[in-house]
Amino acid sequence: MEEPRRTGPTLTTTTYRRAVDARSGTGPGTPPNLTVREELREATRQRLLSAAEEIFQRDGYSGTTVGNIAAAANVSRAAFYLPFTDKADALITLMRANLAETPEYWREVDAALVSGDRTALRASLRNTLTWYEQHAHLLRPVREALAAHPHLTQKVQGNFARFADEMAGYLDRVPAQDRDRARLRLQLLIIQLDQLAYRLVVLGNTSIDRDVMLDEVTEIWRLTLPAAAQPG
Amino acid sequence: MEEPRRTGPTLTTTTYRRAVDARSGTGPGTPPNLTVREELREATRQRLLSAAEEIFQRDGYSGTTVGNIAAAANVSRAAFYLPFTDKADALITLMRANLAETPEYWREVDAALVSGDRTALRASLRNTLTWYEQHAHLLRPVREALAAHPHLTQKVQGNFARFADEMAGYLDRVPAQDRDRARLRLQLLIIQLDQLAYRLVVLGNTSIDRDVMLDEVTEIWRLTLPAAAQPG
Amino acid sequence: MEEPRRTGPTLTTTTYRRAVDARSGTGPGTPPNLTVREELREATRQRLLSAAEEIFQRDGYSGTTVGNIAAAANVSRAAFYLPFTDKADALITLMRANLAETPEYWREVDAALVSGDRTALRASLRNTLTWYEQHAHLLRPVREALAAHPHLTQKVQGNFARFADEMAGYLDRVPAQDRDRARLRLQLLIIQLDQLAYRLVVLGNTSIDRDVMLDEVTEIWRLTLPAAAQPG
Amino acid sequence: MEEPRRTGPTLTTTTYRRAVDARSGTGPGTPPNLTVREELREATRQRLLSAAEEIFQRDGYSGTTVGNIAAAANVSRAAFYLPFTDKADALITLMRANLAETPEYWREVDAALVSGDRTALRASLRNTLTWYEQHAHLLRPVREALAAHPHLTQKVQGNFARFADEMAGYLDRVPAQDRDRARLRLQLLIIQLDQLAYRLVVLGNTSIDRDVMLDEVTEIWRLTLPAAAQPG
DNA sequence: AATGAATGAGACTTCATTCAT
DNA sequence: AATGAATGAAGTCTCATTCAT
């Protein structure tokens, strides 16, 4: 049961924030040795997360073993279980740090929908692909983990359908009687975009011409979404 | 994940039974003990497949163990390895037997696109959901397995994007200059429909009203697909 | 757990006699189909024995599987269990057919001891090595089987110590008061010869010069065995 | 039969304990928890070795299963594979710890050959039997393992033929022109003695009177070995 | 007589996880 | 905080052996 070894793209070297920082900031009276311990613990946690990111990317979710992560982090297998409850916990932590926040480009999409500018819409939809490219290394194991453990879906805000609600600028400008329909269609279009991007970028489907496909996607958005009321 | 090494082709139940029945019906010269043997083996294989289907559904792909399948089939674990090479082989066999053939409803979709009848289109799209409902129990473990082992994708014909090519009736009637675009949009719509159905049916998302969503999907198809040339 | 593959020496093609021959000779009234069955059974038995001899020789006792024997004999694994109870039974049968009878050369040794002729003694002892060479392919698996299942020793007459008693010609001519001692020493010398031959021939120890060693063995026999009374 | 892949050398108990004791005694700077860990691991290893010794003795080599050893040692089967790579590794470890060193009595035999004292020779040869008695429980499975896997012979120094070279005291005193012959005869006599002892002690052949046999063996040694030059 | 199917046991391996230190 | 030892469960594979046909 081998996992295809992917050629390693650039690793994000994000530092995953923790409550620890807040705690160590409680005041100058904090015994320094405690802080040393905490820093040590945090450093280990960081090494484990970096290692996990690398191994998840390389071997996929089911192909990754706690032992591999620990080895890559140069700590014992048991040490893995101090900051994390299990393999899924580590991945969720990575997801939250990297995928949870609403990507910036949705605001651009929203703005483009408001303006009704076809070129702007296409450009902002194209940014979607860029975002997927940047996060492709995590998206694959994440999808795998979610397929294996559907209940994890709740723990990740990466529910793309929800992004429809973030198109507040556009939705507000849609006539009230069309608003529900607009929201539903947005959801459907986002689902579609997500799948397209996943297949194009993460699965690396090279048989599809991105630009052509992007044209069609843009056109579908324009043809199906109610127009926003223009000021004025 | 090894390629199954057995020489014997892994026949789907239906095909297999048919072959056996045909042979035993050729005449009195057929050695009956051969058929008895085959029936015995086939019965065990079927018990294993049924058990696998049940356990895969209940525990997911990674949560299923060969031991569990064998126990549910009331055979020894070693017996599992007679007709199947491993867990994945059993799932693939189930997939092929249940998911491989192009579902009937695509032809209805094609016909509805040809006729341009909105009601017929909606009805045929609704059948999609019915098909997902019937196969929901397999779709979840299959998706999990495919997420974990992408190379298995080649072994299953369930590449939904390919269904676009089966809409020959509709595509033939689209004006030549629109045909490529029509095919691309069909692919995108099918991806969308697949995802919607998966979330609605397999993941059991109850927060979405199916009928409303179906209306929107139908409308999106109508708004984005070029009209077929009507005869006469 | 690999077994070194020996380069195959010439296989004996002995036909292993059975009571079957006697039975089929009971008279002309014997229904011929019974005899056909018996001949069939016997033929299978022979094929199994030949195959067993080959596989035992090639793979050693523990390295041999019933499946390998059956495959080499072109019969099913189950068919092996018709004429034999298990792997050891097949080997014992081979042993009895090949190793059980007192080898001819012991009589020569006896005669040489009687005559007191050093050259004859050396020549007859050398024949020992020849005998080992001829049976080397069976001796190795047999020793292995005996090491693993000491109780099998009783089933094989190949108890070399017993050969001392076959030196009746010599022992009869030893003065009565020396006879017990002579028998003991013969046993010890035969044990020694057996081990030497096994190491030289079966294990293929090439670091020992056979002729030199044979000289020493001969000398030890002469130095330690009481002289036989020469006929006046 | 794989070569053990562990990096750590497989120390015999005695050696190992000694190393640990020495290290823990080097001073107060030694981290004590290391020793505790090592003792824990070593204790388990010892329990496994003891259990293996018992089971090997009781069931023979091929009759012994790793599961049986682990059960007798009250550890999990997986724990067996921490200090040992497989069944053979455990047996080899036992062999090395118990059978590898040249037994003390060979020096006595050497001395007796030098002195030419018949009583001393007999006594030292008798010690051979004592040594076999002490190690009989291991010798049987060891011989079985060696019979099945001849290549293991290299891993054990128990090549009895080599003992001839350890009779340096005697061989040095043999006239130069007789020395090669003396060495060859020693080899033959040792082979003989080994087989005798094995049959008497390990196989428990009770039909032979040990004292009488010992007399004959002693006599054979005296009759066939060239005398050592006596000083002065 | 001969067979294919099935069994059960064991080997060896890998893993996630726990626990005493 | 960190670790090594140990566990138990499962996986895959290979055998000897039995049994219904």
Question: For D108-148, what is each residue's pLDDT tens digit?
Answer: 999 999 999 999 999 999 998 888 888 888 888 888 888 88
Q: Quick check: do C and B touch, 3+ CB pairs under 8 A?
A: no
Interface touch D150/C4, C-beta < 8 Å: yes
What pLDDT was estimated at residue C96? 86
Dist CA A140 CA A203 (whole Å) = 8
Q: D12: closest CA among D96, D136, D104, D99?
A: D96
Dist CA D90 CA D145 (whole Å) = 12
Q: Which residues of B touch A220 (CB under 8 A)?
A: 185, 188, 220, 224
Dist CA A208 CA A192 (whole Å) = 15
- Are the C-beta atoms of residues B56 and B138 closer than 8 Å to each other? yes
Q: How many interchain CB pairs under 8 A, C with D?
A: 86
- How confident is the model over C43-86, as pLDDT tens digits? 999 999 999 999 999 999 999 999 999 999 999 999 999 999 99
In Å, how far from its chain's centre is CA A126?
Answer: 16
Give the distance from residue B115's alpha carbon to the nearest chain A alpha carbon, in angstroms: 21
B14: helix, strand or coil: helix
The better pLDDT of the pair C52, B232 is held by C52
The better pLDDT of the pair D98, A123 is held by A123
Of A151-160, D75-84, D141-150, the range with the highest mean pLDDT is D75-84
- How confident is the model over C4-45, as pLDDT tens digits? 333 334 344 456 655 444 444 444 444 555 677 778 888 999
What pLDDT was estimated at residue D179? 94
Q: Report chain A residues touching chain B, CB-CB < 8 A.
A: 1-4, 60-63, 143-144, 147-150, 153, 161, 181, 184-185, 188-189, 191-192, 194-196, 199, 203, 212-213, 216-217, 219-220, 223-224
Of B6-10, B127-131, B228-232, the range with the highest mean pLDDT is B127-131
C88 touches strand E (CB under 7 A): no
Question: Testing the interface with C: which of D65, D160, D192, D205 to mutate, by most C Cβ within 10 A?
Answer: D192
Q: Which of C147, C184, C223 is closest, CB to CB, to D216?
A: C184
- How confident is the model over D185-213, as pLDDT tens digits? 999 999 999 989 888 887 777 777 889 99
Tell me, what amino acid is at D197? Answer: A
What is the nearest nucleotide to C1, using C1' and CA? E11
Among A81-90, B223-232, D74-83, where is mean pLDDT lowest? B223-232
| 22-41 of chain C touching strand E, CB 7 A cut-off | 37-38, 40-41
Tokens 């682990």: give the residue.
D70
The token pair at A163 is: 């992004």
Among A14-28, B149-163, C112-126, where is mean pLDDT lowest? A14-28
What pLDDT was estimated at residue C12? 44
Domain boundaries, chain B: 13-99, 105-224
A40 has pLDDT over 80: yes
Tell me, which fold does domain B13-99 have in CATH? Arc Repressor Mutant, subunit A (1.10.10)
What pLDDT was estimated at residue C184? 93
What is the nearest nucleotide to A79, using C1' and CA? F2
Q: Which single residue has its CA nearest the C1' atom of nucleotide F16?
A: C66
Cα–Cα distances in angstroms (integers) from residue D53 to residues B59, B210, D15, D140, in the given order: 43, 70, 18, 11
For residues C212-218, give the mean pLDDT: 95
Please, what's the b/e burial string for D1-24 (b: 16 or more CB within 10 A of its CB; e: otherwise)? eeebeeeeebbbbeebeeebeeeb
A29 has pLDDT over 90: no
- How confident is the model over D168-188, as pLDDT tens digits? 999 999 999 999 999 999 999
Query: Given pLDDT bands bounded at 50, 70 and 90, which one contains residue C188?
Result: very high
Q: Answer whether 0.85 is exceeded by the pTM.
A: no
Tell me, which fold does domain C19-97 have in CATH? Arc Repressor Mutant, subunit A (1.10.10)
Cα angle value D179/D182/D186 (rounded, 5°): 140
What is the nearest nucleotide to B85, using C1' and CA? F12
How many C-beta atoms lie closer than 10 Å to residue C232's C-beta? Answer: 3
B2 touches strand F (CB under 7 A): yes
Dist CA C231 CA D175 (whole Å) = 39
C148 touches strand F (CB under 7 A): no
Chain B: residue nearest A195 by CA?
B191
What pLDDT was estimated at residue B26? 37
The token pair at A221 is: 């958005």
What pLDDT was estimated at residue B158? 52
Q: Quick check: do D and C touch, 3+ CB pairs under 8 A?
A: yes
- Are the C-beta atoms of residues A44 and A86 closer than 8 Å to each other? no
Q: How far is the CA of C37 from the C1' of E1 (A)?
A: 7
The better pLDDT of the pair A67, B96 is held by A67
The token pair at C4 is: 């070194």
Q: Report chain B residues touching chain A, CB-CB < 8 A.
A: 1, 60-63, 86, 88, 140, 143-144, 146-151, 161, 181, 184-185, 188-189, 191-192, 194-196, 199, 203, 212-213, 216-217, 219-220, 223-224
Query: Given pLDDT bands bounded at 50, 70 and 90, which one contains residue C220?
Result: very high
- How confident is the model over B25-65, as pLDDT tens digits? 333 444 445 567 777 788 888 999 999 999 999 888 988 99
Q: Which residues of D touch C4 (CB under 8 A)?
A: 150-151
D223 has pLDDT over 90: yes
The better pLDDT of the pair B153, C180 is held by C180
Q: B156: closest CA among B12, B14, B5, B16?
A: B12
What pLDDT was estimated at residue A178? 94
Tokens 């290692």: give the residue.
A51
What pLDDT was estimated at residue D5? 35
What pLDDT was estimated at residue B157? 55
B37 touches strand E (CB under 7 A): yes
For residues B155-167, give the mean pLDDT: 69
Q: Quick check: do A and B touch, 3+ CB pairs under 8 A?
A: yes
D79 touches strand F (CB under 7 A): yes
